[in-house]
Amino acid sequence: MQESEGIAWGVADHIGRIMLKRSARANALSRDASRALVRAIDEVLEARPRVVLLAAEGRIFCAGGDIDEFVAAGSALSALVDDILEPLHPALHRLASAPLPIVAALNGPVGGAGVGLALSADFVLAARSMKLRTGYAAIGLSPDLGASYFLARRVGAVRAQQWLMLSEAVDAQRCLDSGAVDFVYPDAELPDAAERLVQRLASSAAGSLAAIKRLCAGLPGRDLHAHLALEHELLAACAHSADAREGVRAFVERREPRFGND
């Protein structure tokens, strides 16, 4: 694992890992940390893993932006925001739209930009101690890092607007009931649960998962005619793969498939 400015990252055994390690600062994304996160995303994706795990050390997943840095910026806050987001937003887009599953393991509270980072994942696992607090309106700011987009995609536009406007803490069970997260575990069980999931995804047929993600990502904007055409195109491509041949053989032979031969 490489590490810079409280961000650690690496790829091993087809699993990419990005870890927030500024626990003394609530894993807040300062300007320097955000630049390290951009580097981490780029280098992990360049290594072409089959799955990426987002996680954090300490009791808080990510408090959002570094408020002390915001205060220090004073009247130059807008320039600081531009400096952080101009490289970070494109990097987040690359991560969220990458043709592989992204898993987030939320070990504790998440707020502000941390909401966008966490909910950009395809699978969001949370510890029972996790609470989601958007926080933007409470300090006179508006969302960034896709927080409004990913929250609305998961819980609906009206509920997302309410959560963003009120900036109240939403506990893990309510997040689960609303669809903001996918699974909730006792705190001590979260790391093992996340590891089981990424191992399972890493052993799946990469082309199949990429096609599924592409098909679902375009909804609901794609009409049925276009969607059926894309299904045809992607299925034909998958059918050419060694993974498809292995999957069909394994099904007939009633055994677990051994994917990853493409």
pLDDT digits (tens, 9 = 90+) for 3-55: 999 999 999 999 999 999 999 999 999 999 999 999 999 999 999 999 999 99
Pair 210, 192 in one domain = no
Residues 14 and 47 in one domain: yes
Is there a domain that residue 261 lies in?
Answer: no
Residues 124, 182: contact at Cβ < 8 Å? yes
**Together in a domain, 169 and 237:** no
Q: Both 130 and 213 in a single domain?
A: no
d(CA 224, CA 226): 6
Domain membership of residue 218 as a residue range:
206-252
CA 2 to chain centre: 20
The mean predicted confidence, pLDDT, of the chain is: 97
Q: How far apart are the first and last CA of the chain?
A: 26
Residue 262, in any domain of the structure: no
- Structural domains of the chain, count: 2
Asked if pLDDT for residue 118 goes beyond 70, the answer is yes
β-strands 170-171, 131-133 pairing: antiparallel
Residues 184 and 225 in one domain: no
Collapsing DSSP to helix, strand or coil, 204 comes out as coil
Phi-psi category of residue 88: left, alpha or beta, with phi > 0 → left and psi -120 to 50 → alpha: alpha
Classify the phi-psi angles of 233: left when phi > 0, otherwise alpha if psi is within -120 to 50, otherwise beta: alpha
Quote the CA–CA distance of 212 and 218 in Å, as a whole number. Answer: 10
For 159-179, what is the mean pLDDT? 98
Same domain, 106 and 230: no
Number of other residues whose CB lies within 10 A of the CB of residue 83: 15
Is residue 150 domain-shared with residue 75, that is, in the same domain? yes
What is the C-alpha separation between 92 and 179, in angstroms, rounded? 21
Average pLDDT of span 125-136: 98
DSSP structural state of residue 6: T
Which value, in Å, is the radius of gyration of the alpha carbons in the chain? 19
Q: What mean pLDDT is predicted for residues 142-152?
A: 98
Q: Is the pLDDT of residue 262 over 80?
A: no
The pLDDT, as a whole number, for residue 220 is: 87
pLDDT digits (tens, 9 = 90+) for 66-89: 999 999 999 999 999 999 999 999
Q: Per DSSP, what are the bridge partners of residue 8?
A: 3, 19
Residue 145 token pair: 């890092």
Q: Are residues 23 and 45 in the same domain?
A: yes
Same domain, 118 and 239: no
Indicate if the pLDDT at residue 194 is higher than 80: yes
CA distances (Å), origin 19, targets 39, 107, 151 = 13, 11, 22
Does one domain contain both 153 and 223? no
- Considering 183, 202, 221, which residue would you say is the last residue of a domain? 202
Residues 222 and 187 in one domain: no
Both 197 and 226 in one domain: the answer is no
Going by pLDDT thresholds of 50, 70 and 90, the confidence category of residue 141 is very high
- Residue 110 domain-assigned? yes
